[in-house]
Every structure is written in C-alpha cells, then in structure tokens.
Amino acid sequence: MTFENSLAYARACDANDALHAFRSEFHFPQHDGRDVLYFTGNSLGLQPKGAAEALKQELDDWARFGVEGHFRAKHPWYSYHEELTPSLARLVGALPEEVVAMNQLTSNLHFLMVSFYRPTGKRRKILTEQRPFPSDTYAFASQIAFHGGDPDADLVEVQPRPGEHTLCTEDIVAKINELGDTLALVCFGGVNFYTGQAFDMAAITRAAHAVGATAGFDLAHAAGNLHLQLHDWNVDFACWCSYKYLNSGPGSVAGAFVHQRHLGKHLPLFAGWWGHDKGERFKMERTFKPMPTAEAWQVSNAPVFSMAVHRAALQLFDRAGIAHLRAKSEQLTGYLAFIITGVEKVTGTHLEVITPKDPAQRGCQLSILAHGHGKALFNRITERGVVADWREPNVIRLAPVPLYNSFEDVYRFGEILTECLSASH
C-alpha cells in the first residue's frame, strides 16, 4: 500500500481500522498527562482492563469457598487450564489435544527436551540460530551436558552470511543437511528476539525430519504475533510465554504444543500428578498413567491467578482473530518502516533496520541500528514518552502491536525521533 507521512493520513488509517476499538481495552502508562507511545509488547504487553475483574473473581471464590473452589468456583480450579485450551489451539494453529497452558517458558523447553532431545550414538547435536535468547542457549547447553555431551561441540549455531544480520532459509537447510545423521534436534526461535526475523518454520521442520532429527520452536516472540499453523507444519513440539504479545502479565503461565502423532506414544517424560489421567488422578495410585493429550507433560496443578489474567487476554484474541491481527500488523509495521526511512532522509542519520524487509519474514518488531547515536538516542526518545526497548550492544527494538497500537502512535514516534535526532546535531 502507499503510505503518507502525515497526521491526517494516520488518523484516517485508524478510522478505517476494524480493530482500533481494542485499544480502549488496555491500560496505557502515562507521560505528561497522556498515553505513552508504547512499543514494547515484544517484551511485556499492556494490561487488559478485564484482567483485574478476572483476578478478583478467583480471589472472591477463594474467600467464599476455600478449598472447595477447586470444584465450586465459577471457573473450577481443578479444570481451569482446560478453559484456555480452545483459545490456545486457535492461536497457534493446533488441535485442542495438542496444547496446554502450564509452567514457564524455559521450564517447558526443558520438559519437552526430555522427550524430544534423545541423543544416541553419533546423533547428538542441537542446531539453533546464532544468538537465540540466552535462556535457550543455557537450556540447550545444560541438556547436552546432562546427557554427557560437550556443549562446545554439540551445540551448533547457524551464522548469517558475512556483512548480513539475518539468516537465509537455504543456509539453515544446508546446515541441517550438512550435519545429517549427527543431528538430534533443530530448535529455533519462531522470531529472533534481537533481529526480529521470523523463520520459515515449515521449511525448517521438513529439513529436520528429512535427516531424521526432531524440530521444535521457542515461540516467545511468535505467539500472538505471527499466524502460526503448528499442526499443519508438522512441528514436533513448541513452547511460548504469555507476557509479551499475549498480554497476560509478568511471569504469567506459559504454553506448550506437542504434535498429535506423538500423543499417547509413551515418550520418556518427567511425570507429575497433573499429567496423570484426570479420571483416576485422585485415586493417588503409585503408577503414572499419562493423559492422552499434551496435558501429559503437566507436572503441577494450575496457577489459577495467572491463568485468570491469561484467560481474559485470550478472549481479546478470540474476538479479534489472529488472521485479522496479522493483516493489520503487516500494515502497521510497514508504516513504521516507512516513517523510519522518512526520518533518515530528513535528518541525514543512518538508521539501519536489521529486520527483514519482507513482511513474511518478520512480525511486529523492527530492530534499528542508529549509527553514531546508540543508547544516547534511546535515552532521548524515552524522555519524550516513547517506551521502546534497548538490547545490547546497539539495537533499539520497536514493536507496534496491532491489538492496541495505532497508526497515529507510529506517526507521532516519527515526529519525536526526528526532533531528537535534529537536536543532537
């Protein structure tokens, strides 16, 4: 589409945006008496206004029923996670039996690798992208060491080509083919936290399976951001958090996906009583009988308070529809890229966007290298009411989230960026 750098144009886009009303359903931090320009949904999403009521419901039921709230609460705690399942399945493109809300992100990654990283013989290596989120690197290395391997030898990272910041799918596939029968697991972030690059998860999965490896993904920056189709892509497993694009609060409950073909196959896993057959759970028997769904990977009962907020947030996604959100996201992030290019021309500043230009290879986030400015520029825009995100050594991350950001937000950011760069000369 053809963009214009004007307030009138931005407001016209907002007036024609079918999702614009969702903005009013979130709390915005304030700066000088007005909403901040909040572009950090890729780090912590805004609070839905329905969160307090959802949480209060559980607090009231706890006060009223005590332990009997497990069965008598408005949303019975015993089966609380089940209320989230249909929404999660729609969100990540899965069958209901393939998903479960549980634990935290890195915990889930570890629990899933117990089942899907099974090094044997020379098939021991894990392949990931260069510089995944550090928690993933720690998890991979510790799993390799736990199995008696050498992380320096068995953890392999695909590097960008010289002079480039992001990866080519053909290079990832080539590395998978090169490692061949030494490769046990391919595990990438769905979207790289630093560059904002969205990977071709279907192609990576096909390549991994072709050499006999399993394929999993950390979807921390992809869930609620991309239009995912995990079941159709034949992904073996995935996990994600809910506090970024899913707006469910700091440290809120995470999610996990296990493909249907693995369910009920008695894979090795770390068992806990909430993964036991729910029809027999309270018999308290000694032998573990796993649920025939992704719920088998649960080890503990539901963290109801965080799930209450998560449920309220997921209801917003159900109403908006991930396909509609993704369509708006492509326009909104495209507008941000256009505005940044305009600022670059006006100020003569080299603002290098290291995120791919192709909308199919990115989500909401754009990562910017402001050559010659760095963190000083980040500090200046922060003082003007822009809530962005700094990542060492030199990247400013901006994520216009379609559920609550507007085209006017993006336009006003361009004004502030221009003023801050002009004042620094």
- Choose the final residue of a domain: 286, 320, 354: 320
Question: For residue 111, what is the domain's CATH number?
Answer: 3.40.640.10
Q: Residue 404: inside a domain, yes or no?
A: yes
Q: Residue 1: inside a domain, yes or no?
A: no
Mean pLDDT over 293-319 rounds to: 97
Q: What percent of the chain has pLDDT over 90?
A: 94
- Choose the final residue of a domain: 290, 320, 350: 320
Q: Residue 48: inside a domain, yes or no?
A: no
Tokens of 24: 């009013």
pLDDT at 1 over 80: no
Number of domains in the chain: 2
pLDDT band at residue 423 under the 50/70/90 scheme = confident
CB atoms inside a 10 Å sphere around CB 53: 11
pLDDT value for 425: 59
pLDDT band at residue 424 under the 50/70/90 scheme = low
Mean pLDDT over 330-358 rounds to: 96
DSSP-derived secondary structure for 279-338: TTGGG--SS--B-SSGGGG--S---HHHHHHHHHHHHHHHHH-HHHHHHHHHHHHHHHHH
Per-residue pLDDT tens for 161-175? Answer: 999 999 999 999 999
Q: Are residues 233 and 369 in the same domain?
A: no
Strands annotated E in 139-194: 155-158, 183-189
Q: What is the distance between the alpha carbons of residues 181 and 212, in angstroms, rounded to a whole number?
A: 7
Q: Are residues 80 and 153 in the same domain?
A: yes
Q: What is the distance between the alpha carbons of residues 221 and 202, in angstroms, rounded to a whole number?
A: 17
Q: Are residues 100 and 219 in the same domain?
A: yes
Cβ atoms of 85 and 255 closer than 8 Å = no
Question: Up-side HSE of residue 211: CA atoms within 13 Å toward CB?
Answer: 26
Mean pLDDT over 120-125 rounds to: 97
Q: Are residues 378 and 246 in the same domain?
A: no
Q: Are residues 173 and 295 in the same domain?
A: yes
pLDDT value for 215: 98
pLDDT at 297 over 90: yes
Q: Are residues 269 and 399 in the same domain?
A: no
Q: What is the distance between the alpha carbons of residues 392 and 377, in angstroms, rounded to a whole number?
A: 14
Mean pLDDT over 114-125 rounds to: 97
Q: Are residues 152 and 99 in the same domain?
A: yes
Q: Residue 370: inside a domain, yes or no?
A: yes
Buried/exposed code over 244-254 (b: 16+ C-beta within 10 A; e: otherwise): bbbbbbeebbb
- Choose the final residue of a domain: 270, 304, 320: 320
Q: Are residues 136 and 239 in the same domain?
A: yes
Q: Are residues 329 and 297 in the same domain?
A: no
Residue 325 identity: L
Structural domain containing residue 261 = 54-320
Element (H, E) at 108: helix 105-116
Lowest mean pLDDT among 178-187, 233-242, 270-279, 405-414: 270-279
Q: Residue 396: inside a domain, yes or no?
A: yes
pLDDT band at residue 231 under the 50/70/90 scheme = very high
Mean pLDDT over 21-43 rounds to: 97
Q: What is the distance between the alpha carbons of residues 48 and 25, in angstroms, rounded to a whole number?
A: 6
pLDDT band at residue 371 under the 50/70/90 scheme = confident
Rounded to an integer, what is the distance from CA 267 to the centroid of its chain? 26
Q: Residue 41: inside a domain, yes or no?
A: no
Q: Are residues 118 and 168 in the same domain?
A: yes
**Phi, psi for residue 303 in degrees, rounded to 5:** -80, 85
Q: Are residues 159 and 218 in the same domain?
A: yes
Q: Residue 333: inside a domain, yes or no?
A: yes
> Could you tell me which of 39, 357, 399 has the C-alpha nearest to residue 193?
399
What letter would DSSP give residue 264?
Answer: T
Q: Residue 375: inside a domain, yes or no?
A: yes
Mean pLDDT over 57-72 rounds to: 98
Question: For residue 407, what is the domain's CATH number?
Answer: 3.90.1150.10
Q: Are residues 419 and 341 in the same domain?
A: yes
